[in-house]
Structure 1
Amino acid sequence: MKKRFRHVLLEELKAYSDKIICDGLGSIIFSKIKDESAPNVMICAHMDEVGFMVRSIDKLGMIHLITIGGVKPLAQFVQKVRITTKEGKKIPAVINATYNNGKAENIYADIGAYTEEDVYNLGINVGDMVTYTTSFEEFTLPDRLVGKAFDDRIGCFVMGEVLKELRKENLNCNIHFAATSSEEVGIRGAKTSTQLINPDIVFVIDVACAKNEL
């Protein structure tokens, strides 16, 4: 999913950038250059999202998962997801788990299979990614939206809009817009992007949980 989103960013923002770099972890940096000796300003937001990965498949066709990133415990019960195979095939599923002392355990995905052969015949294997399938929708109240991966693709959107607004500005600095990878598993992409840019100042755009979140 991150690769697809990175391609969308590239197509949307390449016309507004003087220089584009992709690093080894999959982050992409759009730069507006004043002068190589000018101060470097970095604005960053992460592209990756929370989700799951297939850990094992049992004889009854249940697909056991591990979490990737900070998946909230209550978001691991009776949720619609999509399993993406290595060939790119997308298989709908429902995840569930057992609840133990406020924690989700034994997370699994159910595709309606009866045997492990049913699962393997669809191309599903250990290591396949599993993501939520929440559709984008506007609520009745104004300026209220729901969708998947707003953490932090909404930040990437904001960053892109800033790049567009600054396209004709004569700035006294180089400004670098970094859409980073691997935030959910240890802010790895931000670290490598920072090494590439060597910024004098950094602005990070991210989301936060509501104070009344369960």
Structure 2
Amino acid sequence: MQHANSPTFKTILSSEIDQPMQYKLLAGVIIPRPIALVTTLGPRGPNAGPYSFFNGIATDPPMVVLSGGPRKTPEGEWAMKDTIRNIEASREFVVNLVSTPILDKMNICATDFDETVDEIDLAGFTTVASKHIAAPRLREAMVHLECRAVQIIPISNRPYRMILGEVLCFHIDEKILQERNRIDVAGFDPVGRLSGDDYTRVTDRLSVRRIPPPKDKAAPGAGGGG
């Protein structure tokens, strides 16, 4: 039975809309998304590019995923972006997490410059050496994850690359690192990606305690996070 105040849904078939509209809907409903400002090392030196199709996906070992697609050249051909090409060649990258103080610098790195432009220098970032890989970190970011790609999977028709990376080590600014390695979210001030030109900050938080099941209804091994 449908109630009078039941919502009305519009059904949109992915197969009936073009790629830009698919992206618009996907990026508009999966929000907010964390932003990985990914640094790599290529034939022309360091490179930086932001990716919001990104997240943490596993532990033991800690793993992240990011994906990116090609861009159109002036000749109308599809060409993979420098970040993805560099990861395919070296299997190494650094995730520099984006917070409010570096948002404007990150935005400069989002510009589709040609390969002759050093966007790291143009944005005013400072590179520092990583401990386990050749790709550099960005000093101004408060968190760096040194990663090694363990799997690179072609997906979609354009095509995109889905990159699964093992986090080899974490570099965290001690100002935001609290007891038992908890993160001071207010001090971190991370930025999330919305859609279009919009971003969001973590200025309002809710705490909701997980409800434990009755002992006789608990799943085997219950009690882990998810």
> Structure 1 length as normaliser, TM-score?
0.24
Larger RCO (CA within 8 A; separation ≥ 6): 1
> Structure 2 length as normaliser, TM-score?
0.23
